[in-house]
A and B are shown apart, each in its own frame.
Chain A
Amino acid sequence: MTSKTMRPDDRKYFESHEWAKQDGDAVIIGITDFAVAALSNGNDSDLVYCDLPEPGRELAQGETFGEIESVKAVSDLNSPVAGEVLEINHKIEEHLEILARDPWNEGWMIRVKPTSKNWASEKLMSAAEYEKFLEAQKH
Chain B
Amino acid sequence: MELWRRISTYGASPEFNMGLDQALLETPEAPPTLRLYTWEPDTLSLGYFQRFTDVPRATEAGAIVRRITGGGAIHHVRELTFSLSCSLEHRLYAGPIGESYARIHRAIAAALAEFGVRAELRGERALGSDVEGTGMCFHHSTDLDLVWDDKKGVGSAQRRKAGRVLHHGSIKLGTSPLEGDIATLERYATLEPEDFAPVLLAAFERELGIRTRPAAPELDEREYARQVGPGYRAERFVHRR
Contacts and interface: CB of A to CB of B under 8 A. Distances in A.
Contacts of A73: 69-70, 97, 157-160, 165
Nearest to B99: A41
A66 to B, nearest CB: 12
A52 B58 CA distance: 27
A67 B69 CA distance: 11
A72 B162 contact: no
B4 to A, nearest CB: 21
Query: Which of B48, B68, B96, B160 has the largest count of A CB atoms less than 10 A from its CB?
Result: B160
Interface in B151-186: 156-163, 165
A41 B101 CA distance: 10
Interface string A26-63: 00000000000111111000001101000000000000
B92 interface: no
Interface string B13-49: 0000000000000000000000000000000000011
Most chain B CB inside 10 Å of its own CB: which residue of A49, A69, A74: A74
A49 B69 CA distance: 13
A50 B161 CA distance: 15
Contacts of B158: 72-74
B97 A70 contact: yes
A69 B160 contact: no
Contact of B96 (A16, A38, A74, A138): A38
A41 B97 contact: yes
Interface string B93-108: 0101110010000000
Nearest to B67: A74
Interface in A49-96: 49, 51, 67, 69-76
B97 A39 contact: yes
A5 to B, nearest CB: 21
A96 B23 CA distance: 30
A3 interface: no
A121 interface: no
B48 A72 contact: no
A74 B159 contact: yes
Interface residues of B, number: 24
A41 B160 contact: no
B48 A69 contact: yes
Given A71-B142, A74-B158, A38 B49 contact: no
Contacts of B68: 74
Contacts of B223: none
A118 interface: no
Contacts of A75: 159-161
Nearest to B101: A72
Contact of B70 (A40, A42, A74): A74
Contacts of A2: none
Contact of A49 (B49, B97, B98): B49
Contacts of A39: 97
Nearest to A76: B161
A104 B165 CA distance: 26
Interface in A121-139: 137-138
A48 B70 CA distance: 10
A16 B97 CA distance: 16
Interface of B: 48-49, 68-71, 89, 94, 96-98, 101, 142-144, 156-163, 165
Q: Which 8 A-B residue pairings sit nearest by Cβ, starting from the closest?
A: A73-B158, A75-B160, A41-B98, A74-B70, A69-B70, A49-B49, A74-B159, A74-B48
